[in-house]
């Protein structure tokens, strides 16, 4: 553990050396944190971003959201350093209890200092540690406000140790979006901090370790069963994407992988059983659902890129097995369109029924790259062509797609009445509400003309329909744009932010949608809306990428 002293400005270094608080070696080590990439668990307001704590300006500061514990700020030194000294200049909102930690990879952390008796001012700490990342982790506030630092200074020296890194750390934006794609107004650090904050609240509300056995799972209080494959798929994609911001990402992801392996489909064991009860046992036949399987496979590919496949689980091998199982059991070989799951087969009434929210073109691109199987190009084109056809024939003025499409083997059309879930199965309802996000995700990452065209049709309609006010987005529409129900839910308004990014003339509209998301608290009874909003926030801030 490190030593600590309270200091005035005058005679700082001499006083430290005389007291033995900072060794001559530590005093000689250079400042290595100035101007480095810095992220935080939250940001109180614009102008208080984490980068302000390492800008060398003692009149600017980082501040977290008020009234919450824990909160943290982390600086990336760029390479592994031997860290000898950390100097914290606290604003009035200081930490009563906090830890200073180092990490080689941004995932596993080692305490080099801790206290439960912080009293603000300047903490000049002699420490001994090694890492690429240094984090100040506050666990108890001293005031009713948040945590705030005028300056976070790290002193040390590079030690030449190779740095274990996350492949695509959250916030790195290594894969640029298509030209002209918008982002919400504001600095990238402010946008990223908003995503990290929402992610932490999402984890608290829905991520669990129930039933023991090393499992992690995402609970689904608003679904038919406590655990559904769709929720686990969302969790795997989200957690892998947040690696680099979440120090526990890999441990959580491996717990989700164990859940997937231990709950195989009763029909194709390389797929995930769709539903589990409160005892974590697969129920209702134990077969698979296509939407969950698509995200599970995609999440495994993200994990392989983030951490490699030489650890506890071979992510790449599991991903390819899952992808091949999707092709074998959840793609209709006569239409190249997705089925609802591995449980429907030739001759039953669901065999030529498909759900529009499953049509994830960016996933198909990733599957093609991972497997080298050109069939995924054919599958992607079949779905994109169907989107174009449905928009032209059934929603020329809105671009809206129905929840379910029937007769996919002959004349595809919106479902006629209830075919699986509700009388609105042929309308834009609780499944198709995800379509703008799914189409938009491919449009912004690939620049594909078909996806861009479909996305822009949706955006033009909804912006005009609502008068540019996201509060006017209702809970469902007929394909002609007639509203089905009033009220508001993130599952309906958030996805439109993704298609808004594809239109250069929609900055104000995008900002309105972004602000609507920021103003909407997480509803702990709806994993569906919260999980969709979180993934939309990741995408519109430029942090979605295709492995």
Query: What confidence score (pLDDT) does residue 543 get?
Result: 97
Query: What confidence score (pLDDT) does residue 107 get?
Result: 72
Q: How confident is the model at residue 25 (pLDDT cuts 50, 70, 90)?
A: very low
Query: What confidence score (pLDDT) does residue 546 get?
Result: 98
Q: Is the pLDDT of residue 213 over 60?
A: yes
Note whether 163 and 104 are within 8 A (CB).
Answer: yes
Q: What is the pLDDT of residues 160-174, one digit of tens each?
A: 666 557 899 999 999
Catalytic member of 230, 287, 342, 403: 230
Query: What confidence score (pLDDT) does residue 162 get?
Result: 61
Q: What is the pLDDT of residues 515-531, one digit of tens each?
A: 999 999 999 999 999 99
Cα 107 to chain centroid distance, Å, stands at 16
Closest by CA to 132, choosing from 23, 33, 39, is: 33
Q: What is the pLDDT of residues 143-161, one digit of tens each?
A: 999 999 999 999 999 876 6
Catalytic member of 76, 291, 293, 448: 291
Q: What is the pLDDT of residues 374-406, one digit of tens each?
A: 999 999 999 999 999 999 999 999 999 999 999
Residue 291 known to be catalytic:
yes
Q: How far apart are CA 156 and CA 209, in angstroms?
A: 38
Residue 153 known to be catalytic:
no
Q: Tokens in use for 484?
A: 């089905």
Q: Is the pLDDT of residue 514 over 80?
A: yes
Q: Tokens in use for 538?
A: 């990741």
Q: How confident is the model at residue 102 (pLDDT cuts 50, 70, 90)?
A: very high
Residue by residue, DSSP assigns 427-461 as SB-TTGGGHHHHHHHHHHHH--HHHHHHHHHHHHH
Query: What confidence score (pLDDT) does residue 14 get?
Result: 36
Phi, psi values for residue 260, rounded to 5°: -60, -45
Q: What is the pLDDT of residues 270-317, one digit of tens each?
A: 999 999 999 999 999 999 999 999 999 999 999 999 999 999 999 999
Q: What is the pLDDT of residues 307-321, one digit of tens each?
A: 999 999 999 999 999
For 391-409, b where at least 16 C-beta lie within 10 A, e where not — what string? beebbeebbbbbbbbbebe
Q: What domains can you pick out in the chain, each with its CATH number?
A: 38-158 (2.60.120.260), 188-541 (1.50.10.10)
Closest by CA to 333, choosing from 323, 346, 347, is: 346
Q: Tokens in use for 423?
A: 């009388």
């Amino acid at each position: 553990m490190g030593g600590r002293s309270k200091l005035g400005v005058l005679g700082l270094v001499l006083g430290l050396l005389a007291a033995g608080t900072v060794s001559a070696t530590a005093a000689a080590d250079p400042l290595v944190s100035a101007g480095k990439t810095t992220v935080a668990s939250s940001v109180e307001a614009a102008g208080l971003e984490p980068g302000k704590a390492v800008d060398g300006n003692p009149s600017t500061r980082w501040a977290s959201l008020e009234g919450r514990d824990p909160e943290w700020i982390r600086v990336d030194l760029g390479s592994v350093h031997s860290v000898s000294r950390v100097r914290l200049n606290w604003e009035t909102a200081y930490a009563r209890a906090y830890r200073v930690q180092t990490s080689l990879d941004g995932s596993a952390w080692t305490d080099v200092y801790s206290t439960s008796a912080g009293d603000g001012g300047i903490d000049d700490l002699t420490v001994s540690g090694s890492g690429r990342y240094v984090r100040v982790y506050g666990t108890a506030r001293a005031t009713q406000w948040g945590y705030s630092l005028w300056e976070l200074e790290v002193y040390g020296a590079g030690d030449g140790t190779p740095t274990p890194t996350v492949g695509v750390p959250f916030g790195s934006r290594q894969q640029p979006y298509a030209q002209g794609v918008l982002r919400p107004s504001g600095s990238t650090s402010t946008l990223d901090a908003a995503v990290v904050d929402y992610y932490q609240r999402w984890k608290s509300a829905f991520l669990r370790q129930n039933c023991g056995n090393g499992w992690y799972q995402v609970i689904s209080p608003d679904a038919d069963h406590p655990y559904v494959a769709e929720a686990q798929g969302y969790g795997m994609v989200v957690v892998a994407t947040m690696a680099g911001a979440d120090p526990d990402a890999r441990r959580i992801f491996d717990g989700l992988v164990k859940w997937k392996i231990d709950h195989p489909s009763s029909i194709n064991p390389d797929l995930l059983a769709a539903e589990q009860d409160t005892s974590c046992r697969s129920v209702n036949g134990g077969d698979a659902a296509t939407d969950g399987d698509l995200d599970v496979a995609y999440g495994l590919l993200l994990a392989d890129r983030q951490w490699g496949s030489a650890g506890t689980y071979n992510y790449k091998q599991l991903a390819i097995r899952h992808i091949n199982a999707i092709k074998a059991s959840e793609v209709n070989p006569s239409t190249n369109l997705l089925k609802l799951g591995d449980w429907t087969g030739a001759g039953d009434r669901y065999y030529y029924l498909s759900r529009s929210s499953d049509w994830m073109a960016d996933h198909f691109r990733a599957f093609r790259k991972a497997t080298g199987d050109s069939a995924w190009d054919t599958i992607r084109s079949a779905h994109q062509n169907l989107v174009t056809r449905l928009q032209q024939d059934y929603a020329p003025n809105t671009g809206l797609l129905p929840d379910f499409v029937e007769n996919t083997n002959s004349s595809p059309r919106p479902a006629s009445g209830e075919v699986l879930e509700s009388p609105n199965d042929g309308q834009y309802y609780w499944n198709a509400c995800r379509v703008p996000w799914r189409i938009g995700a491919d449009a912004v990452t690939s620049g594909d003309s078909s996806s861009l065209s479909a996305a822009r049709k949706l955006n033009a309609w909804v912006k005009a329909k609502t008068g540019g006010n996201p509060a006017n987005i209702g809970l469902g529409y007929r394909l002609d744009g007639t509203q089905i129900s009033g009220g508001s839910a993130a599952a309906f308004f958030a996805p439109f932010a993704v298609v808004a990014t594809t239109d250069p003339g929609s900055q104000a509209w995008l900002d309105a949608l972004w602000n609507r998301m920021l103003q909407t608290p997480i509803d702990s009874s709806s994993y569906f809306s919260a999980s969709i909003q979180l993934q939309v926030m990741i995408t519109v801030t430029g942090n979605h990428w295709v492995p």
